[in-house]
Chains A and B, each alone.
Chain A
């Protein structure tokens, strides 16, 4: 299967996105913000469909909207109790808008399906470079904020007393998440972002309580699932996203049983 250019591109894209998703997802799960990741992917859907309407590349529509959504969520929902409600409202408004945009380009049904369920086989080389660039920005950003992020995640009251701005950390982190989500959508689609962002991270956390090991493990698990999904899709001709979702769910189930 490596003899085809599109397969090599697909493997590379899956590898990049899986690692980014696994690492960023680890912090998302640790913070208990998986719902935010879910909502951001839906916000991204609006951005992507809107971009297509305007004749822009859906990837940039996706990135633009997820980042805006992430910043908005970080600013609005600084208090824990408010968060779910805030996110739910953002989510429903954006889904509604996305639906409207979709209504205007019914001709592009395949594009809509690709957004919803992903299309890693359709990634071209320029997109691959974009994914690599976005991934690098996302991981670099995460590295820079990881210290205060962990502090604010594990001990918000003490972090505040030590002068950490919980709001700033939250906004920066959700921006990082937004980039990772936008990448993820390219591979598994809006509806299955959980499979790469949450599945591997939750599996890793079930297997180890050590931070460093957990992050590494989440990246490796995501990588195996992403690459494995593409390979299985090639062999069976079933959708990649189905395979990644199945591997992700299976791995989590096994890890939970072991515990």
Chain B
């Protein structure tokens, strides 16, 4: 069954079309790497799936429904982490998300405390959750953010650049953790990232965004010279080196070089 279906969807922000006429069909339980240069519309797409952006045209279905704010079946890890230097324990940070949309006293009952303990345990953050957020490393905070996304029993996880500002080792650990969780909990995952390589081997398919267009398929299908050249409207070459993949622009035109973030920082 399909978890996420987009039919002829166009998304616009401030009058500018970010994604144009996108068709997607993502099956339940799939792990999708959402890739593309800065500004390609990864965040915009995820926010549309949350119901925070209404499509200009077309229809979006998440678990068979039109996206709406406050859908408990969708867990979200946002890209902007504006408030992470607070002097509050990781535990209380995660707990604030649980039923945070209800009015009333911010007091957790026994059931809620168990739920928080469960998700902290899932991501292996039970111990570090005792420390203040401000004292945690980027990778440790990432775990807590992942924990809050798992609260309730989401069927879909929308993770917006969880690898941002992590070193390569930490990136691998986070990807492996999400991969394991997705398998165990039978989650559909959309995992946006700047680089392709940390996700290879874990993701089932890749969704590449660029130039307002989208290409969905296996790495072998999508990360190819012809497909990326079409998305970027210029000549792009894909080089395989061992099990790593590098995306290179043939002309090294300004902008495009910077755009090819799926590469391993190879200069043309």
Contacts and interface: CB of A to CB of B under 8 A. Distances in A.
Contacts of B74: 161
Contact of A161 (B69, B96, B104, B130): B69
A236 interface: no
A160 interface: yes
Interface stretch (B22-30, B84-92, B175-183, B192-200): B84-92
B92 to A, nearest CB: 4
A142 B167 CA distance: 41
B185 interface: no
28 contacts: A80-B82, A144-B103, A145-B103, A147-B103, A147-B105, A148-B103, A150-B96, A151-B97, A151-B100, A151-B101, A153-B96, A154-B86, A155-B78, A155-B96, A156-B82, A156-B83, A157-B76, A157-B79, A157-B80, A159-B100, A161-B47, A162-B97, A163-B70, A164-B100, A211-B88, A211-B95, A211-B106, A214-B88
Interface in B29-78: 47, 50-52, 69-70, 74, 76, 78
Interface residues of B, number: 38
Which interface residue of B51, B80, B132 has the most chain A CB atoms within 10 A?
B132
Nearest to B43: A157
A161 B154 CA distance: 14
Contacts of B99: 147
B44 to A, nearest CB: 13
Interface stretch (A100-108, A177-185, A202-210): A202-210
Contacts of B107: 212
Given A32-B83, A146-B105, A210-B91, 9 more contacts: A30-B86, A155-B93, A157-B76, A159-B97, A160-B52, A161-B76, A209-B87, A209-B92, A212-B107
A159 B96 CA distance: 10
Contacts of B148: 155, 158
Interface in B105-134: 105-107, 130-133
Contacts of B80: 157
Given A156-B82, A164-B101, A151 B76 contact: no
B78 A157 contact: yes
Interface of A: 30, 32, 80, 143-164, 205-206, 209-212, 214
Describe A's contact surface by its main secondary structure. Answer: helix
A153 B89 contact: no
A147 B100 contact: yes
Which interface residue of B78, B88, B91, B130 has the most chain A CB atoms within 10 A?
B88
Given A154-B86, A155-B148, A209-B88, A148 B100 contact: yes
Contacts of B83: 32, 153-156
Contacts of A162: 69-70, 97, 100-101
B52 A209 contact: no
B160 to A, nearest CB: 9
A151 B52 contact: no
A174 to B, nearest CB: 17
